[in-house]
Amino acid sequence: MERWTGRVALVTGASVGIGAAVARALVQRGMKVVGCARSVDKIEKLAAECQSAGYPGVLIPYKCDLSNEEEILSMFSAIKTLHQGVDVCINNAGLARPEPLLSGKTEGWRMMIDVNVMAVSICTREVYRSMKERNIDDGHIININSMNGHSVVPQSVVHFYSATKYAVTALTEGLRQELREAKTHIRATCISPGLVETGFAFKLHDNDPERAAATYESIRCLKAEDMANAVIYVLSAPPHVQIGDIQMRPTEQIS
């Protein structure tokens, strides 16, 4: 990780869960991390904690609604002005709404497409532009995917979400191919977890908190820190090593 010291990372959805854990881990290792979310209160608190702990890096909170392209472009413009550009992008922000294919609301489907697919694509394009402008040839783009992007489980409330994560699987491999065609050494990776104990299920089942809690009580789940460790592993790989996808489940998880 020494080569990343002082370099700039963007972590989307950095206020809670996996994003917060990843942001903390990168700051611990000396990176300058721009953490964005729709609300930055929790990121500001995390930034203060990192500073108090004496971590060598710094966490910079940035308010951004990733469903709004103009806000994303404005964020990249601000990063360029203040920090030159982005060297590592962690496309972590994602959401699921309980909208089955036969009865779901279009609004919920569109929300998932906007954040899980469009925001990932827009951020990726802008990060690549940032790297090319500065002749950065060792950058890394990491998409936080899901095991739902590799198999469809028989739960109607996550079928559309699964479709958006299948898109992330295709986008990551397509990105890898385009980066090779462009003759760069910029790398693309996705990390696909099974059940991670975060607030994710409580947002998916926001009308049924007991069901959400049961999701995490049935087995010993992955922790957000496990995901942060996977990100560090990917970034620590030698420059000639391209890690395409890490699929990781709790040992006790079946599907």
Residue 189's H or E segment, with its range, is strand 187-193
Specify the range with the lowest mean pLDDT, choosing from 20-34, 105-119, 171-185, 201-215.
Answer: 201-215
At 206 the pLDDT is 76
Tell me the pLDDT of the chain averaged across its residues: 96
- Give residue-wise pLDDT tens across range 36-62: 999 999 999 999 999 999 999 999 999
Mean pLDDT of 232-255: 96
Enzyme catalytic residues: 161
Residue 88 scores a pLDDT above 80: yes
At 212 the pLDDT is 74
| Helix axes of 17-28 and 41-52: crossing angle, nearest 10 degrees | 30
What is the Cα–Cα distance from 9 to 231, expressed in whole angstroms? 12
Terminus-to-terminus CA distance in the chain, angstroms? 33
Indicate the pTM of the whole model: 0.96
Q: Phi and psi dihedrals of 9, rounded to 5?
A: -120, 140
Q: Which pLDDT band holds residue 204 (cuts at 50, 70, 90)? A: confident
Specify the range with the lowest mean pLDDT, choosing from 2-6, 154-158, 214-218.
Answer: 214-218
Q: Which of 42, 47, 65, 66 is nearest to 57 (CA)?
A: 47
At 114 the pLDDT is 98
Residue 172 scores a pLDDT above 90: yes
At 91 the pLDDT is 98
What is the Cα–Cα distance from 84 to 113, expressed in whole angstroms? 30
Mean pLDDT of 87-92: 98
Beta-carbon neighbour count of residue 190 at 10 Å? 28
- The one-letter code for the residue type at 124 is T
Residue 75 scores a pLDDT above 90: yes
> In the structure encoding, which two tokens stand for residue 21, read together?
């854990």
Residue 36's H or E segment, with its range, is strand 32-37
Q: Phi and psi dihedrals of 96, rounded to 5?
A: -130, 140
Residue 155 scores a pLDDT above 90: yes
- Give residue-wise pLDDT tens across range 192-202: 999 999 877 77
At 153 the pLDDT is 96
SS3 90: strand
